[in-house]
Structure 1
Amino acid sequence: MTEYERSRTMPALPEHVFDQAADVNRLDAWLPQDLHVAADDLPTVTVHEDRTDEDTSATLRVQPERMRLEWGTREGTGYSGWLQVEGVGSGASEVTVHLSFAEDSHDPGQDAVGAALDGSLRRLEEQVRLRIDNAAG
């Protein structure tokens, strides 16, 4: 099993960050750009990957009381992951994303995963900023 993890501090309250991250209808705004999630009947979702043009059955669990998302492929041989939001004081939050690949054949490699995680966290922060700016203006 191969595991990857990235964190990013965001200048927003943890509740605001989690609400943006957990909005099932807006996951495409921050997920890696070649992944698209369709919520069937939570926790069941379908993940479409542009690179392979394949749909995969997966689960997505939203845990607001813990400010945590957990996901994974249903067959258990692909990947799983989680996103955790924690307050770090002064109205800021730290968001950590963790991915685990059960089989090497599903692991795109350290460089690709690192770039995808960093890009996702950057897009999530942009979405949070847009939401806060729109609420304030």
Structure 2
Amino acid sequence: MTEYERSRTMPAQPEQVYDQAANVGQMDAWLPEALHVHAGEPPAVTVHEDRTDQDTFALLRSRREQMRLEWGTREQGSYSGWLQVAGIGGGASEVTVHLSFFDERHDPGERAVGDALDTSLRRLEEQVRLRVEHAAG
């Protein structure tokens, strides 16, 4: 098993960050650009990957009371992950994303995963900033 994790501080309350991250209809705005989540019968989702043009059946669980999203593949059990939002005071939050690959054939490698996590967290921060600025103005 291989695991990866990245964190990023965001200038917003944890509830605002979590609500943006957990909105299935807007996940394409912050997930890696090649991934698209389509909601099914909760907690079921389908993840489409542009690079392979394949759909993967997955589960996505939202635990708002814990400010946590959890996901993973349904049938083959080769991949799982979670996103945790924590308030750090002063109107800011820290977001941590953790990925676990149980099957090395599905692990794109440390550099690719690190780049994808960093980019996704940056994109999520941009979406959160837009949401906070829109609500304020």
Name the TM tier (shorter chain): over 0.9
Contact 1:12 1:128 in 2 (8 A): yes
Aligned residue for 1:84? 84
Letter in 2 for 1:18: Y
Identity of aligned residues (%): 72
TM-score between both structures, scaled by the size of structure 2: 0.98
Contact 1:13 1:91 in 2 (8 A): yes
Matched residue, 2:3: 3
> How do 1:39-118 and structure 2 match up within 5 A?
39-118=39-118
**3-state SS, counterpart of residue 38 of structure 1:** strand
Match of 1:34 in 2: 34
Hey, what's the Cα distance between the residues in 2 that align with 1:59 and 1:32?
Answer: 18
* Unpaired runs of at least 5, structure 1: none
* TM-score (norm: length of structure 1): 0.98
AA aligned opposite 2:51: R
How far did 1:42 drift?
1.1
Moved over 4 A (4+): none
Shift of residue 76, structure 1, vs aligned partner: 4.2
What is the deviation of 1:77? 3.1
1: CA distance, partners of 2:49 / 2:80: 15
Cα RMSD between the aligned structures?
Answer: 0.7
